[in-house]
Amino acid sequence: MTQTIYPGEVFTNTADFDSGIRQLLPRYDEMLEAVTTCVPSNCQTVIDLGCGTGELSLKILQHCPEAQVLAVDYSPRMVEFARAKVTGAGYSDRWHAIYGDFGDLATPTQDKHTIQSTQACVSSLAIHHLSDEMKLTLFQWIASILEPGGCFWNVDPVLPETPQLAEVYKTVREKWAAQQGTTLEAVRAKIGTSQPQGHSGQDRLATLEAHLEMLKSAGFDAIAVPWKYYGFAIFGGYVGRR
Ligand SMILES: C[S@@+](CC[C@H](N)C(=O)[O-])C[C@H]1O[C@@H](n2cnc3c(N)ncnc32)[C@H](O)[C@@H]1O
């Protein structure tokens, strides 16, 4: 029987995630490092939405030596994998995890967890599982909990604007896999079958322009795209920046 996984867990075996994602997506480490670099190193509080196996959390913990990181993920398997890595790296006293759906956090009447405030919020490769309506609700919630001057940076795949660009992005990913000594087909053979879970479903990509509109409408200012590589972009902004 095929094991079903949650949207975003990607691989049937959690242990395949860290190597598999680096073959599947071009420049995975670079995109996470770029998100991290956008977070001020003197941040005291950072939320990591959809922490997965903890790769972004680890980079933030290293970059922000005084930060307490609150990681959120609805997958116990991913969180436990992250916890083992964070503990092994000696950061367990500065990393705390919530098992929960970040869509529920954004609609707090549905969830037992409430988060009052944070100086920064980051996310990598997770929010694209929400509907556009929920993306906007999530961005509004993030804007509402950010302290004045606080920032939000998200890296996600974006919807290609034309079929020609979709082909370009596909070719880039095929070439990347070949450079890693594999093929997309071989990596995809390890991908699990997911069923909708909570607020998340299959990939629900929006264009970069649509994301920027959502951020604006959610109340962010100084909205920016500090990094982009073909079909992947980092976007976000600040609230109450003077
Ligand atoms: C592709 S992984 C990325 C993990 C990590 N951020 C990284 O860049 O390696 C997406 C993660 O988001 C989580 N996720 C997806 N939708 C979620 C939701 N609605 N609430 C909480 N976690 C979610 C999945 O369980 C998975 O761990």
| 3-state SS assignment for residue 190 | coil
Q: Does domain 4-238 have CATH number 3.40.50.150?
A: yes
pLDDT tens-digit profile of 131-162? 999 999 999 999 999 999 999 999 999 999 99
Per-residue model confidence (pLDDT) at position 118: 97
Q: Cβ-count burial of 35 within 10 angstroms (0-12 exposed, 13-18 middle, 19+ buried)?
A: buried
Q: Which two tokens stand for residue 217?
A: 């409408």
pLDDT tens-digit profile of 167-220? 999 999 999 999 999 999 999 999 999 999 999 999 999 999 999 999 999 999
Q: What angle do CA 27, 28, 34 make, to 5 degrees?
A: 85
The predicted model gives 76-92 an average pLDDT of 97
Atom 22 of ligand 1: nearest residue by CA position: 73
Instruction: Provide the residue ranges of all domains of the chain, joining segments of one domain with +.
Output: 4-238
* 80-85, long-range: CB < 8 A, 24+ apart: 81/14, 81/15, 81/17, 81/52, 81/53, 81/54, 82/51, 82/52, 82/53, 82/54, 82/57, 83/54, 85/53, 85/54, 85/58
Tell which one of 21, 55, 75 to mutate to probe ligand 1, the residue whose CB is within 8 A of the most ligand atoms: 75
Torsion of CA 152, 157, 161, 163, to 10 degrees: 180
Atom 13 of ligand 1: nearest residue by CA position: 50
